[in-house]
Structure formats: structure tokens, C-alpha cells
Structure 1
Amino acid sequence: MSGDPVVLVVEDEPDLANLYSSWLADHCTVRTAYDGTEALDAIDGDVNAVLLDRRMPGISGDRVLDAIRERNLDCRVAMVTAIEPDFEIIEMGFDDYLVKPVSPDDLLDTVDQLLLRSTYDAQIQEFFALASKRALLDSEKSEAQLRASEEYARLEDRIAVLRERVDDTVAQLSGSDAYGRTCRDITREGTT
């Protein structure tokens, strides 16, 4: 499968890690790590996307995520975890968040989205990550909780600033290629 995207599955439950790997095997090259230490050894510049469990013995998924970002690795990360999200996710450096149990379709769709996002520039990637966090919090928190959160207000402000920048970028690219059409589609979805 040389040339295929590389996805690292990090999950401390071997049966679950192997199940995820089997779901992905026909779509990409899969590496599997069964704890945080193995994950840190397995992650390198060839990895395009990481599916990362948050709660693991030893080195947690949160710490693995921090190490990935500190190394400036150009990969997208989805947390795949049983931990319900809370406002602390706003400051975390992941791109998407799935709450277990996940279906094969959800996992494949998430990987497809992560790989697609990896082709966009940093501005678009940040916009998607923040929009995913906002959507997750919108689905998990009450309207009163959202209004009372200063973190959420800052998140909304940052999304608005990025949306303007993305719109400017789209305007510059609008006459070019499929990339420009994709950016317009993304911008349109972000406003709904």
C-alpha cells in the first residue's frame, strides 16, 4: 500500500485497536499503538492522521496529543474516547472528537475528513478544528451553559475572525481549481 495515507490508531484495548485497524485497512496504511509510549514511538512525519484514545494508563492521550503538537508534526488528530466532552476541549489541539462507541462508517468518515483537511492550509485547518469543537459543545451543553462560558464566547469570536479570513482566501482562489470550489463549499457549510 505504498503511497497510501498513513493512519495511526492509538487505543489501549487491543481488541478495539485491532477492530479499528481492520475497518481502515482497505483505505490506508494503518499503524497501531496500544499505549501512549508506543504511540510516541510510532508517530513520525509519515503519519497523516491519528485516532487517539484519551484515557490510557501511563501516558494519557491528552499528553500524546500535546507531544504530537510540540513536535510540529503535520498530521490531523481525532480523539476517539469514552470521555464526554467539556469546555476544556476548546484549548486542546485535536481536529475532531468521537465519543465511543463508534461505527465503522463514523470512523471511516472521520478519517476521510481528517485526510481531506490535511490538504488545506493552517488557516482552514484551524477553522475546521474550532467549528468541530463548537458543534460538539452545542450538542452537549445547554444554551444557558454556552452563554455563561467565557471560553465559548472566545471560541465564537475566533471562528468569526477565521471565517472572514477564509472568505478572503476563497475570494483569491475562486477562479482557480477544485481547491477553490472546495473552500467555497466549506465556507458555505460553516455558516449553516
Structure 2
Amino acid sequence: MTADSETATVLVVDDERDVAELYATWLGMRHDVRSANSGESALEAVDESVDVVFLDRQMPGVSGDDVLDGIRERDLDCRIVMVTAVDPGFDIVEMPFDDYLTKPVTRADLYETVEEMLVRDAYDEQIQRYFAMASKKATLEAEKNAAELDAHDEYHEVTQRVESLKRTADQTIGEIQDFEAAFGEFSGS
């Protein structure tokens, strides 16, 4: 990943060519961009040089969900952002993506999301999992009413997982700060 620089390699995947071209044009002003218009071509285009994937969830043939699974099975180190016009269901809790955007998506949404994904990549795996799960929780809260959330065990599960991952992340940050403080004392700083 290119966390130290502002330029990322981004893959835009959407079966609607106009949408993919628009996103690619916007992102191309700041980043190196590839695009794909099917799940099959997405799996061909993604490799270890890709930092962020914007992935349409609803595609004919090989769906975005299938592409997501394919990328994770290949153990590629990229952040994946699902982008869809379909309101998210509670199934997103178990999906291995990093963030979820509901269409319509603006240029600012894309820019901010790439920046956020690059920042997240600088963190260790535990903190990345916390951010991904917190994103899923926030997505559900934005798209569902309180009664729907309360009625689904998946929402309660994601809430518990966010709390658990936050405790772990806080502990990890504390350990890093303790290490930095000890190192500073050792080096005479």
C-alpha cells in the first residue's frame, strides 16, 4: 500500500460503464485508476499493486460479493469498499469488506474514502478489523430504523464485536504509547 504518499492505485468495478467511467475520471485526478465492468474482469485486474477497490455489489454473472470473496481468498492486501444502490442487509456483518457506500456517491465521497482507506492501512490488523466492523455498524444504523436494528441478532452481534474490538484496539494503542514512552526514556529524549 502507499500510505506514505497521496497517490494510490484504485480499481473501480461497476457493470454500468457510465458509472465506472465517471468514478474513474474523478479518481484519476488524484490517483492511478483501473476500471472493470464485470466481476470476471475485476478479478483479472486486481493484483498486489491495487490499494483500494470500489466494488459494485449488484452485477450480473460474477457478483460483487463473489469478487470480494475472490480477492480475500487470494489474500491481496487491499482495502475493499462496497458501492451499491441496494440498501444493505444484515448479511454485511460477516462480509470481509472495509467500508460500504450507498449510491449515489459523490466525488468528495470517493476522495475521502480513498484517504481513509490509506490511513486505515497504516494500522495493524486488529485496528483495521475494528474500523471495518464499526463501518458496518454505522452503515446499518444509517439505513435501518431502531425497531429493525433491535429485531435482528446480527445488529446486536456487530455491536458486541465493535465494543470488543475497540477494547483490543485501545489496549494496542496503550501498549504502543507505553513502548514509545519507554523508548524515549531509554534514548534520553
What is the aligned partner in structure 1 of residue 162 from structure 2? 159
36, 41, 57: which one aligns with 1:38: 41
Please give the TM-score of this superposition, normalised by the length of structure 1. 0.87
- Letter matched to residue 105 of structure 2: V
* Separation in structure 2 between the aligned mates of residue 152 and residue 140 of structure 1, nearest angstrom: 12
Deviation sequence 1:38-92 (CA, Å, 0-9, x none): 1000111111110000111111111000111111111101111111111111111
Shift of 1:174: 2.3
- Residue identity (%): 50
- Letter matched to residue 98 of structure 1: L
Q: Work out whether 1:130 is the aligned partner of 2:133.
A: yes
Shift of 1:107: 1.2
148, 153, 165: which one aligns with 2:151: 148
Shift of 1:144: 2.1
Shift of 1:130: 0.6
1:68-79 correspondence runs (5 A): 68-79=71-82
- Letter matched to residue 110 of structure 1: T
Structure 2, unmatched stretches of 5+, are: 182-189
Partner SS state of residue 174, structure 1 = helix
Deviation sequence 1:114-137 (CA, Å, 0-9, x none): 121112111111101110111111
Q: Work out whether 1:58 is the aligned partner of 2:61.
A: yes
Q: CA RMSD in A?
A: 1.7
101, 115, 119: which one aligns with 2:118: 115
5, 9, 13: which one aligns with 1:10: 13
Q: How many residues align?
A: 176
* Separation in structure 2 between the aligned mates of residue 146 and residue 101 of structure 1, nearest angstrom: 23
**Larger RCO of the pair (alpha carbons < 8 Å, separation 6+):** 2
Q: Hey, which bits of structure 1, 4+ residues long, moved more than 2 A?
A: 174-177
Shift of 1:159: 1.1
* Separation in structure 1 between the aligned mates of residue 18 and residue 159 of structure 2, nearest angstrom: 39
* Separation in structure 1 between the aligned mates of residue 74 and residue 127 of structure 2, nearest angstrom: 20
65, 70, 90: which one aligns with 1:67: 70
Please give the TM-score of this superposition, normalised by the length of structure 2. 0.88
Q: Work out whether 1:173 is the aligned partner of 2:176.
A: yes
What is the aligned partner in structure 1 of residue 106 from structure 2? 103
Structure 1, unmatched stretches of 5+, are: 178-192
Shift of 1:26: 2.4
Larger radius of gyration: 2
